[in-house]
Amino acid sequence: MVEDRSISGRIYAAINFTLLALIALITVLPFVHVVAGSFTTSAELAAHKFVLIPRIWSWDAYKFIFSTNTIFRAMGVSIGVTLVGTLFSMFITSLMAYGLARRDLDGRNVINFMVVFTMLFTGGMIPTFLVVKELGLINTYASLILPSAISAFNMIILRNFFQNIPEGLEESAKIDGCSDFGILFKIVLPLSMPAIATISLFYAVTYWNTYMSAILYLDDSTKWPIQVLLRQIVVLASGMDHSSTLDGTVPPPDQTIKMAVIVVATLPILMVYPFLQKHFAKGALLGSVKG
């Protein structure tokens, strides 16, 4: 917008700027508080309430949570599920998206409808649970991946992206004797790297954040991903809920320990956030192109 240099225009802009700055501050303040709180002692946190910058720095909370292998194990599960899940999801999502992007394919509309319909109507939690159970997936890591392997939304974004690649490229490759798989992996995918990166990151974040599948399909607490463990540790202390974990031997965690676990569970997301940010707006907009 062109700048408005009148006095009222400046006041307007100043108020607007201040409000937005406040909103941004309120949004991130809780994160900063938790990070700061995790790096101090419980005594310090209890004595000087509003810790944004602790006066006493301490690794105690982290030493404590890493003193057993519970956190390591849960982080391992989450990292494994995220890596394997993202690769698997990307593989079958891009195969499907490419097939559906080809306009000359018979039956394409039927399959498209089949996909979109699942966004409007679902069988729901219990029937899905029964299917997962019948397949023998209960208490397996596969139950965290397979039932949500393809996001219809992500598939449609990718399909739309593939559709925008000039058909001439594919045709000339075909004339040169390239197979459909060859075209996908040698021409279409390399040309779609921004979309591939975006969707991979979306999948990775979803897998990292997996919670519901874990509480539905995993009874065995040694297989819990970090999100479930985080929930247990944070809620356990005040005796708000029934179940307890951490091998039952650990005293109820205090505030700093809870904060440290929150930080550990958040860290991987924060680490990929700069990459996410580069792509995500584009990705979210790709999705707004109607299927």
Site for other proteins in 255-284 (CB under 8 A): 255, 258-259, 262, 265-266, 269, 273, 276-277, 280-281, 284
In the list 131, 169, 193, 271, the residue contacting other proteins (rule: CB under 8 A) is: 131
In the list 177, 240, 243, 248, the residue contacting other proteins (rule: CB under 8 A) is: 240
Give the position of tokens 């550990």: 264
Q: Which is nearer to other proteins, 57 or 181 (CB)?
A: 181
* Cα distance between residue 257 and residue 78, in whole Å: 20
In the list 153, 173, 180, 275, the residue contacting other proteins (rule: CB under 8 A) is: 180
> Is residue 175 involved in binding other proteins (CB under 8 A)?
no
For 28, half-sphere exposure in the C-beta direction (CA atoms, 13 angstrom radius) is 8
Q: Dump strand ranges (E) for the chain.
A: none
In the list 105, 169, 193, 271, the residue contacting other proteins (rule: CB under 8 A) is: 105
| Closest by Cα among 205, 213, 221 to 73 | 221
In the list 90, 231, 236, 279, the residue contacting other proteins (rule: CB under 8 A) is: 231
Stretch 3-62 residues interacting with other proteins (CB under 8 A): 3-4, 8-9, 12-13, 16-17, 19-21, 23-24, 27-28, 30-31, 33-34, 37, 45-46, 49-50
> What phi-psi label fits residue 282: left (phi over 0), alpha (psi between -120 and 50 degrees) or beta?
alpha
Distance from chain centroid for Cα 252: 29
For 134, half-sphere exposure in the C-beta direction (CA atoms, 13 angstrom radius) is 6
In the list 61, 65, 74, 216, the residue contacting other proteins (rule: CB under 8 A) is: 216
